[in-house]
Amino acid sequence: MAPTITAAMTSSQEHLTLTHKLRKPQVEKLRKERINSSIEQLKSLLGADTGAAAEPTAEKTAEPLQQSAVLTD
């Protein structure tokens, strides 16, 4: 026999949907805060030198370009 949907089940499902819609922004905010906190922890573990090393200087960028120009000539 196939299950039947009663009025009580429909009301319960609507309540769950409404509760989910109300909680979703709160849960999303907590998730973003947790992610940002983790990123800050990683930055502190890596140290301040990594930020300077991540930005290539003009000389370091130009060197591979010059080498590739020599190879293609």
DSSP assignment string, 9-60 = HHHHHHHHHHHHHHHHHHHHHHHHHHHHHHHHHHHHHH-SHHHHHHS--HHH
Q: Number of structural domains, the chain?
A: 1
Q: Give the model's confidence band at 33: pLDDT under 50 very low, under 70 low, under 90 confident, else very high.
A: very high
pLDDT band at 31 (very low <50, low <70, confident <90, very high): very high
Higher pLDDT, 34 or 3: 34
Q: Is residue 68 part of a domain?
A: no
Most confident of 1-5, 12-16, 19-23, 66-70: 19-23
In a domain, 6, yes or no: no
Domain that residue 24 falls in: 15-52
Vertex 23 angle, CA 40 and 14, to 5°: 155
pTM given for the model:
0.45
